[in-house]
Amino acid sequence: MKKILLVFVVLAGFVFGGTVFAGPSTEAPAGEMAASTGEPQYGGTLTLFIRHDYDPPGPDIKDAFRDSFHWLDFLQQKPIVGDYETYGPMGSGVYEFGLLGAIPDKYQKGLLLESWETTFEKLTWHVRPGIYWAPTATQSAWMKAREFTAADLVNDIVEFANSPYKRRFDGLLKPEGVKQIDKYTLEIWFDQRFSADVFYFIGYEDRSVVAPPELQAAPGRAGKWENQVGTGPWQFDEYVVGAYFAMQRNKDYWDTTVIGGKEYQLPFIDRVVLPIIPDETTRLAAMKTGKADLDEHINSPNWDTMDKVQGIMAKNIIGGANDRVVLRANQPPFNDVRVRNALFMATDLTKAQSIRGAEGLPIHFFPIYPGAPSYTALEKLPADIKQLYEYNPEKAKKLLAEAGYPNGFEMNFNTDSEVLQAMDLAALCADQWGKIGVKVTIIPRDSVEHTRMKYSHADPPLWTGALYDHLLEASETRMYTYYHKTGVDLNYADWSNKRLDELCELMEAELDPDIQQKYIKEAGDILMREGPYIPATIIPTRIFWWPWVKNYWGAYTIQDDCNFSETTAYMWIDQDLKKQMGY
């Protein structure tokens, strides 16, 4: 889709599709304004930058535009959600909901579902009564408001299982195994084996948004944004190509929340606007001058500038992405764990952090991110694992000598030429490994070729030595079953460990989360000891928001990686505070 920038600077304000967002009239006093409190307020507009700066692709699941779900998620809901009210900062605060795509079982609750049961044969889902589809006035021409039922959810899962994404269900789920039992009950039968991934795929993964069958009833209807009907707090309002995507409050939304002992109808805000501004400088200016209220994804090079903005709030998010080095573990010399450990010890991770602006953040984040239930802090790791994180070239040399390489060896480092940080990481490794006698030849390739090579498991292999990888995964189980189990596509290192494979089977089949945690921890120790990957640096992002956005404390996601669709329902705009701050 062609991108057209329709942002006009008008004196102190921006025009987004004809709506003027005025700039500040006075400078905000420091500090005290952020503490303003009061009862929830209804009304106002929330201007929110999601991490995509381009126009949304088509919404029809048959077109398989994955990114479209980051817009769809505002309009259509999922069966499962993170229990933000109970365990997040609204409640006990025991879980921050800061991990991308990872909602531990103990912190989940039903959204479209009231309850569920899981056995090794099937999932039994009970739809929450009293939820209604919410067509707009325009959409009412072809769909009437009606109650959401188990038949709707069955239809949606079957559409999903027949879509271009159907390969994920191979051996796990067949469309004919999804059956309605009564008005509010359905069963999802496993195919060849039980897998907890089925619950994730259709329960809260980004593609698990539920659409009405009426959307597929006419050719082309599902491919238009103005036709997207859902059950959520927001309804489609308007979409201006290259300018903004806007939603309006669903005044008949089914859910409520309790604040200060009083029940409130959700959502509080009247309108949510997602501006489409490819130019980073313009986006930052909108945030700095209060024309935008919240930005979910500002990268580290801009933190210093944003941190100087008086009164603005910020929170680091470290639970989603990292840069790592993949070692070809099935070929010499990397099939020797001493060689892999030597390269790990010869990598100064604090310098690697500086490539992504992650100075001061944890150097231990792999395979489990800080904040996850099974995470173990660096200082509490077993001594033989902890020493890998200590930059020690002399000990690395001794390990190489023990492995039969007293004078080092030559190797390739395959990297992505279109990612500046990937090139920097390759150069850093080449320099540091050279100090222990390892001569590195950097081989850059464009992103398409690099990705093709990474996914290939050809024999002979398309690459040797080391390879740059950008990993985006925070799930405690999928980190092993998707990326490190023997023979899986995403095991780029072609590494194999029999005990880890056994643990993958155990954690996938375990229904008790406490027992599952034990398997996850053991698998983590094996993976760290074996070292087929060197976790170079976490890739941080920082959420910035203005203190007039109330009932929000920096949560990143309560449903996979579609980040703000549900949390925005709890937010309200403190108009008095906004005026006091001069905006």
* 445 and 482 part of one domain: yes
For residue 32, tell me if it sits in a domain: no
* 279 and 373 part of one domain: no
Supply the pTM of this predicted model.
0.83
For residue 278, tell me if it sits in a domain: yes
* 458 and 354 part of one domain: yes
* 517 and 557 part of one domain: no
* 381 and 428 part of one domain: yes
Q: Is the dihedral of CA 62, 563, 103, 474 positive or negative?
A: positive
| Of 290, 359, 318, residue with least CA distance to 544 | 290
* 58 and 78 part of one domain: yes
Q: Is the dihedral of CA 130, 135, 137, 139 positive or negative?
A: negative
Collapsing DSSP to helix, strand or coil, 117 comes out as strand
Distance CA 233, CA 62 (A): 25
For residue 116, tell me if it sits in a domain: yes
**How confident is the model at residue 510, as a pLDDT?**
86
For residue 21, tell me if it sits in a domain: no
Burial (CB count within 10 angstroms: exposed 0-12, middle 13-18, buried 19+), residue 496: middle
For residue 359, tell me if it sits in a domain: yes
How far lies 88's CA from each of 354, 356, 484, 525, in Å? 31, 28, 31, 29
Pairing of strands 271-275, 45-49: parallel
* 158 and 232 part of one domain: yes
pLDDT digits (tens, 9 = 90+) for 228-266: 999 999 999 999 999 999 999 999 999 999 999 999 999
Q: What is the CATH number of the domain that holds 461?
A: 3.10.105.10
**How confident is the model at residue 578, as a pLDDT?**
96
* 342 and 391 part of one domain: yes
**How confident is the model at residue 557, as a pLDDT?**
82
**How confident is the model at residue 540, as a pLDDT?**
85
Collapsing DSSP to helix, strand or coil, 450 comes out as helix
Report the domain count for the chain: 2
Number of other residues whose CB lies within 10 A of the CB of residue 304: 9
Domain that holds residue 551: 7-14+41-315+543-580
Distance CA 459, CA 443 (A): 20
**Tokens 């006093």 belong to residue:** 29
For residue 351, tell me if it sits in a domain: yes
**How confident is the model at residue 562, as a pLDDT?**
64
Residues of the chain with pLDDT under 50: 1-36
**How confident is the model at residue 97, as a pLDDT?**
85
pLDDT digits (tens, 9 = 90+) for 4-18: 333 333 223 333 333
* 377 and 496 part of one domain: yes
* 306 and 229 part of one domain: yes
| Of 436, 432, 435, residue with least CA distance to 399 | 436
* 297 and 358 part of one domain: no
For residue 1, tell me if it sits in a domain: no
**How confident is the model at residue 522, as a pLDDT?**
97
Q: What is the CATH number of the domain that holds 175?
A: 3.40.190.10
How far lies 533's CA from each of 310, 394, 442, 488, in Å? 41, 21, 18, 16
* 203 and 137 part of one domain: yes
